[in-house]
Structure 1
C-alpha cells in the first residue's frame, strides 16, 4: 500500500462529503440534537404528569388526597366534575383522572372499604405504567395516616441501606445519553462508507479510480479512515459537549480508552458499510439492507435491554456482532469507570471482528469493481 495514495484518496472522500449538505446535516443532528432529545424527552421517572380529580366527597380526607399530588411528579390537579372526566381524557388533556365518591370519609370511618376510581390514558405508556404505582402509593399513604390519626414511618425488622452506584439519582437520561451516542456511532459509520461508495458508482468516478495507479485495498482503506475520522471527531463532540456539557452526565472512566474502542468499532462498522453497499449497489437497496442490519444491532446488542433477559441462542449469536462488545465496553468505561484490565476482552473481540469484516469486505469490493 502507498500511504500517499491512501492520504490523498481519503482527502477526496472528505471533500466529497462536505459537498453533500444533507449528509453533513445528518451527522450534526445525529451527534447533537438527536442525543439530547432522545435522552431527555422520555424519562423513566414520572415527571409533570397531568391529573384531574373529581371530589364528590368534599371532606378533610379528600382534601388531603388532592393536596398530596404536587410537582415535580404531578402537575397541580385540575378539579373537574364527572361529566368532564371522560371528555377531557378523550381530548388528551389528562393522563390520570381520580374520582373520589360521595361519603368516602364517612364510609372509611365506619369500617367499610370504599372504592376510588382511577382512569388512566394508557396511550401514554411510560407515564401510565409508572404513575399508576405512584397514585396508589399516595392514596394509600394518605388514607392510612388519616385512619390512624398520626403520621409515622413504619418500623421495619431489617435496616436496609440503599446505595445506588454509578447513577445515584436514578436518572434514566444518563443511560440514555451513552446509549444514543453508541447508536449514532454505529448508524453513521455504516451509512457514510456505504453511501460514499454508492455515490461514486452513481457519479461514474469509480471508473476513474480504476485507471489510476491505485490498488483496491488503498481505495477501501481511504474510505474507512476518512469516514471513520468524521465519526470519531463527532463522537468526541457528543461526549464532551452534549453528554458532559449540556446533559451534565458525569463520565467516570477514560475518554481516551473509549475512543480506542471506538476506533476498533469504526473499522468493523465501516467495513460492514462497504460490504452492504457492494451487495445493494443502489441507494434504495442499500437503505433496505440497513433496515435489516441496524435494527438487530440496536435491539439485540444490549443497549436497549439487558442481554441477560434474552434467549441464550440470541446472546451467543450476537457475540459475532461488533455492536455487542462496543455496548459492553462503552457502558463499562463511561458509566462505571472501568479500565483496560476490565475491557480488554471487548477490545480484543472488536479487533478480531473488525479484521474478519475488513477482509470479507475487501474480497467483495474487488468483485464489485470488476
Structure 2
C-alpha cells in the first residue's frame, strides 16, 4: 500500500476518532480540527520518504496532540491551558463509560443537549463521520454556506459556554439519542447516496453506520426507534447491488430483485414485523415499514399511502408529502398526485423536479416533462443521477415516443 493510499485509509477510518479525542482533551473544536489537519499535512510530507508507520492512527494522534500543544504555547494566554493540557497527557485515560464502541461514544459525546438538534447532528457528522460541509448541507436540504454558518455557531457556543465533551453516563443517553439516531441516519444516507463519489455510493460509510446502529440496538434493546433505523438501513442497503448496474442508476421499480441481498432483506423485514407487534411507531419504524412494503412482489400501494399518512403525523415535512404523492399516483392516478406535488415549496430540491417529470410523462405531457428534467439537471445532481436524467430527457425530446 502506498503512502497516499495509507493516508486516505487512515483519514477515512480514524479522522473522527482523532478529532473527537482532541476535542475531549482540550475542549476546543477549532483547535482539534486544525491540529489534525496539520498532522495530516506532516504525514503527507513524511510518509512517502520515511515509510508508513506501523500504526498510522496512533502516529497521527500523537502528532496532532503535539501540534495542539504547539498552538497553545503560541497563545498569549497559554500558561494555564498549556499546563493543564500537558498534565492531561500524563494522566490515565478516563473510564470509557457505558458506550463500549469508540466511534459510537463520540456520537453521544458530540450530541450534547445544550445544542439545537440540527446543530448537534451537523457537528457530529463533521467531527465524527468526517463529512464535508457540502455533504452535510445536502443531507439537510440546505445551502452549503448556511450549513457552514450553523456549524461555526455550534462551535462558538461550545467554546463560549464551555460545554464539556465528556464520556456519557447512562443517564445522559436518553437526551442524546435523537441526535445520535439522526446523525447515523444521515451518515448512512451519505454512504448510500453519496454526493461526493463518482460511483454514487460510499459502502464503507453506509456499512459503518449499520455497524454503529447495531451497537446502539444492543446497548439499548428497549428503544424501538433504534431498531427501526437498523431495519431501514438494512432494507435500503439490501438493494445496493441492483441500484447501480454497469455504471448506470436503476430506479427501484426497474431493479432486478435477484440482485437484492437476501440476508439483509430477511433481517430488515423480521425487525419490521417485530416492531409492528410492539405497536409504538416512530418515524424510523414507519420509514422501515414503507421500505419493507416496497420489497413485496406486488407493492401494496394503499398500505404505503397509509404509512405515509402516519409518518406525516409523526414527522411532517415537504419531502414526506412528496413521497406520499408519488405513492398516491398508484392508487388515485398521476393527475391527483401532480396537484399535490405542484403545491409543495421544493423548487430547490432536484427530486421534486424529477417527480414532476415522472408524473407529467405519465400524463403524456412530455414537453413539460423534459423541462422539469432540465430544471433537475440545473440543480447539480450526483454524476450517476445526472447521467440517468440525461437518458430520460433524451427519450422525451421532439418526436420521441410518449
Using the size of structure 1 for normalisation, the TM-score is: 0.26
Structure in which a larger fraction of residues adopt helix:
2
Using the size of structure 2 for normalisation, the TM-score is: 0.24
